[in-house]
Amino acid sequence: MRVLAVASEAVPLVKTGGLADVVGALPGALAAEGITVTTLLPGYPAVLRALDGATEIARYRTLPGGSARVLRGRAGTLDLAVLDAPALFDRPGNPYLGPDRTDWADNGIRFAALGAAAARLATEGAGFDAVHAHDWQAGLTGAYLRHGDASRPVLFTVHNLAFQGAFPAALFPQLGLPDAAFALAGLEFYGGVGFLKAGLWYADAISTVSPTYAAEIATAEGGMGLDGLLVGRASVLHGILNGLDADEWDPARDPHLEARFDADDPSPRAANRAALCRAFGLEPDARVPVFGFVGRFTWQKGVDLILDALPALLGTGGVLALLGNGEAGIEARAEAAARQHHGRVGLATGFDERRARLVYAGADCVLVPSRFEPCGLTQLCALRYGAVPLVARTGGLADTVVDANEMALRQGWGTGVVFNPVSAGMLAAALRRAAALFADAPTWRRIQANAMRTDVSWARSAAHYAALFRSLARR
Ligand code: ADP
Ligand code: GLC
């Protein structure tokens, strides 16, 4: 069975977050299930550079934004189709943002072209048995298929309902879709064009990246204006947990680390902890926990809550390494905290793969106090690398971390610390609880061992996706 995946980022070529990890890892996991995936990506410079032995397989003259070619080639283990449209994608840096760090003004056209090309590629020649469209950037794929000459079943996966790809109605005439598509029963969304809405509307099946998030988005609290549509489509909505690429994320072989280790002997983590502290200018005592955070500095991720709860964190004697970037206001607060608590709060801004891995491999405890979290990969990385995750009970965080409360510990369970509701006060209490557990060394070792032995692989979820693709293709 052949599946065409459509997305705007994929590891190891271009990554701004977990979407890239998933799009990069799923083809390998699905191969084990007998499904061959070709991934259509925009031809950003980094993608074109990485393409090995590329050949032109199609030329489309009437895509939104003009003409484009599709190149086919391999990059690492990925079989790629690349939309080579220099006017749209030959731009340096972040795939969505211009040099002033705001969205490119033509993002609507750029990603409409991606969806239109996907629909044509999926149905040309022998074509594909099914299409897997990821997030709003691939959201119009289903619309182009439905309104085109030939169709294919589409699975649309929501990685984050907050990014909706909403554009003014003026975009619609440039899309080349029939007028009938601009309707409530179509891609119209609050008077404009909704890419995410279109993805949800036209899909034959919808999935999101954890069972709890699948339930949350079909409620008024979590639905972000799309809950009505999602409730209506509940019979085709699935929650399938993300996994980690076990080769990509392996503390026993990770070349970025100072020292490698595994669940049987995590003691070399001490060298990573020391390297982490050097990299972040921290000077902790061996008896206090090193807390870490890796992620986007946004409201979703609750970085502001960490800063609000800083007195409690420092009150445990612990120290904090913060890695990430994002909203200017949060960055400024983090910078101020690092200045004020020199040696106890360390900050690195930017996207830094090595530093991220040092946090997972060296911190005692990784904080994920998200206000909502579709799945979350940082806590999976933390589990695998033996940094005990401290997480909010929401979305995929609730599905992947088992709270080490007294009852759980008595059964030998518990892989982290889970708190809710999501507030600075409850985070402060969770930080104190984590520090108390850390001070009880045998208990902490037990939790860390449970964490490292958690199955965070793709195996189960790949089987779930495979079954879904097969049922779609049979219809
Ligand atoms: P998101 O909502 O951002 O997709 P996830 O937890 O699903 O959150 O995935 C984030 C991914 O990006 C993880 O692989 C994480 O290690 C990585 N990441 C996030 N911020 C940074 C950063 N500043 N430097 C390096 N890697 C990062
Ligand atoms: C999104 C979500 C995150 C999820 C990732 C990959 O970026 O915010 O929770 O893990 O997609 O599915």
**Does the C-beta of 303 come closer than 6 Å to ligand 1?**
no
22 Cα–ligand 2 center, Å: 9
Q: Domains of the chain: which residue ranges?
A: 2-243+458-474, 269-452
In eight-state DSSP terms, residue 297 is B
pLDDT above 70 as % of the chain: 100
pLDDT class for 9, splitting at 50, 70, 90? very high
- 233, with CB counted inside 10 A (0-12, 13-18, 19+), is middle
Segment 367-395 shows an average pLDDT of 98
> Rounded to whole angstroms, how far apart are CA atoms 330 and 147?
44
pLDDT class for 461, splitting at 50, 70, 90? very high
Identify the weakest region by mean pLDDT among 66-70, 100-104, 158-162, 313-317.
Answer: 100-104
379 CA closest ligand 1 atom index: 6
In eight-state DSSP terms, residue 226 is -
Mutation test of ligand 1: which of 294, 296, 300 has the most ligand atoms closer than 8 Å to its C-beta? 294
pLDDT of residue 52: 82
Residue 387, pLDDT > 80, answer: yes
- For the segment(s) 2-243+458-474, the CATH number from 3.40.50.300, 3.40.50.2300, 1.20.120.160, 3.40.50.2000 is 3.40.50.2000
Place of tokens 């049922």: 471
Residue 166, pLDDT > 90, answer: yes
| Plot region of 358 (φ>0 → left; ψ -120 to 50 → alpha; else → beta) | alpha
Mutation test of ligand 2: which of 159, 294, 380, 401 has the most ligand atoms closer than 8 Å to its C-beta? 159
> Rounded to whole angstroms, how far apart are CA atoms 322 and 200?
35
> Rounded to whole angstroms, how far apart are CA atoms 208 and 236?
11
Please state which CATH number belongs to domain 269-452. 3.40.50.2000
Nearest to residue 399, comparing CAs of 424, 377, 367? 377
Residue 126, pLDDT > 80, answer: no
> Rounded to whole angstroms, how far apart are CA atoms 61 and 63?
6
Whether 2-243+458-474 and 269-452 share one fold: the answer is yes
Q: Which ligand is nearest to the CA of 397?
A: 2
- 156, with CB counted inside 10 A (0-12, 13-18, 19+), is buried
409 Cα–ligand 1 center, Å: 30
